[in-house]
Structure 1
Amino acid sequence: MTGLFSEQSVQLEFYKSDGTFEGTVGAINRGDVDLLLGTCLYGVRLAETGVAPIIVAQSNQQTRHVLAQRANCPCDLRWSDLRDKVIVVYPGQAPTAWAAFTYALAKSGLSLGNVKLIFGYTAEDAISEFVRGVGDVLFIDGDTALRDDLRIALPVSRQAGRLPWSVYMADRQNLERKRELLQRFTTALDRSQKWLQGETAETIARTVAPFFPHSSPQRLLAVVALHQSLDLWAASSALQLDQVQRWSQALELGGLIAPGKQLGDYLDVL
């Protein structure tokens, strides 16, 4: 995988943010990084600080979040079946997963008013209490749901549709200065994405294993297989504009961008 970037004479260095909006956006504002990988909401925040953000490539096209049932639950679940169901919410670190969920609900003709939500559990307690019998379904990250006592019932992505979940963004001024370098980067990224599309879960898991030394081969294989089943990785680095429009609607519905606004009002596309 990394060889694809070396072929384009691209040397990658990774900057670890503190995880906050301010810390991540600040890295671009200070010029500490050339590219920011993450949700489009980072681009919205960049625009609000006076930066002219531009999306140069797309990485993931789906949320990993799912609705899970208890492993011993025999019934198949449909989105329309969620009416009046009690949903235990596993705590997350970003509001975008919830925006994708509310958008998926809306596409099924439901709203948050049609379900009952249980917030407030710790991460550990949310799972243990659900398995014990609290609630009807569990809203959780798909990777975390890979447990013997849980069964993934409804991936949010199947109902919400493809979304520009993770994108690479740059400051337009920096882009103009380093356009040729960034084009080589997107070429290498595109080749790596096509590699992901064409390889088996076993090959991908084996290739990325050195980067995840604390994960067992079995765990890595299960995660890769899940990501493939969700169609998580974009097949091309080129941004799909229909996905941007869909995500704008979802973010507006979720209250994460102002009513009547579109992502295109904040972000440009290379």
Structure 2
Amino acid sequence: MMDSLRISCAHDLAYVPQYAGLATGRFAGRSIDLVFYKSNGTVEDTVGAVNRGDVDILLGSCVYGLRLAETGMSPVIVAQSNQQTRHVLAQRKDGTKAFGWSDLRGKSIVVYPGEAPTAWAAFTYALAQAGLSLGDVKLIFGFTAKDAVAEFIRGVGDVFFVDGEVALHDALRVVLPVCQQAGRLPWSVYMADRSLHERKGSVLDRFATALDDTQKWLAAQSADTVARVVAPYFPQYTPERLEAIVAFYQSIGLWATTSTVQRDQLARWSQALQLGGLLASDRQLTDYLGVV
């Protein structure tokens, strides 16, 4: 008999592990069926789906867990999906020398619009790890997504802060992945209310085990193999584009190699969120989020 788990998450290539687990039968092998709730993309709806009981698990940022706690729930992390931010600093392919982190002082950075505040927190933390602050760089905001790419390529700014997928452009080159300085972070985790874990603990344990099996399988595969396996879930991509994105994610170690959340990563992410203003300076993520 199959046990269903309803998951609220974005339909995104960043979450390849769960789709690879479905495609390779690893969830089915543990008698788990995944049902995805299509959020409208807002925090209110993503978190609200858990509050309303429309889903069992939320996959996303730990910050969502803070919102769950604010509503009176007792969220716990049941598994980890991603261990890096996918955001990067890119330069034009114009023959100029690739910047290092120390070279950013005094440089102008075009900021791609619409990025989550957690991406900004990770970038701020990465700057701090490099001995820099936002006061050491010049930020250029205000472009639309399309114009930000076009204007940077045209010559506006020295560096482009952007999502990794967008950076895979013929006229751009990724020079500084944010994770290079920020380190590994519990970027995307599966969270549930503690009461559900008490009721369905064995099901959630089997889910975490299947995810762990998938993550270890992913770590040993080529980008071509992974892209072919998950392609049915992402028909909007050409095979070439899909493989390129998977290869990029593999190059930065986006996906965790175990479903067990790492407490050192939680501590590091707490520091970054404090610096970014998303967590009070006297608080840790574990004050709001349990780990099972």
**TM-score (ref. length: structure 1):** 0.99
- Residue in structure 2 matched with residue 232 of structure 1 by the alignment: 254
Q: Distance in 1 between matches of 2:126 and 2:58?
A: 27
**Residue 41 (structure 1) aligned to one of 31, 38, 63:** 63
- Tell me, in whole angstroms, the C-alpha distance in 2 between the residues paired with 1:142 and 1:92: 14
Give the corresponding residue for 2:28: 6
The answer to whether the Cα contact below 8 Å between 2:30 and 2:206 also exists between their aligned partners in 1 is: yes
1:1-270 → structure 2 map (5 Å cutoff): 1-2=21-22, 3-270=25-292
- Residue 91 of structure 2 contacts residue 98 of structure 2 at CA under 8 Å; is this kept in 1? no
Closer, same or farther: CA 99–142 of 1 in aligned 2, 3 Å: same
| In 2, Cα distance between equivalents of 1:80 and 1:93 | 24
CA root-mean-square deviation: 0.8
Seen in structure 2, the aligned counterparts of structure 1 residues 107 and 71 have a Cα distance that, compared at 3 Å, is: same
Unaligned runs of 5+ in 2: 1-20
Equivalent residue letter for 1:103:
Y
Shift of 1:204: 0.4
| 1:22 Cα offset (Å) | 1.4
Whole-Å separation in 2 of the counterparts to 1:218 and 1:21: 32
Q: Using the TM superposition, give the Cα deviation of residue 56 of structure 1 relative to its aligned residue in structure 2, in angstroms.
A: 0.5
Distance 1:77 1:93, change over 3 A: closer
Show structure 1 runs of 5+ residues with no match: none
3-state DSSP class of the match of 1:56?
strand
With the length of structure 2 as denominator, give the TM-score of the two structures: 0.91
Match of 1:237, SS?
coil
Q: Which moved more, 1:140-149 or 1:19-28?
A: 19-28
Q: Which amino acid aligns with 1:98?
A: W
After TM superposition, where is structure 1 displaced by more than 3 Å over at least 4 residues in a row? none
SS where residue 121 of structure 1 aligns?
coil
Instruction: State the number of aligned residues.
Output: 270
> Structure 1 CA distance, aligned partners of 2:241 and 2:115?
22
Q: Residues of 1 paired with 2:89 and 2:114: CA distance? A: 14
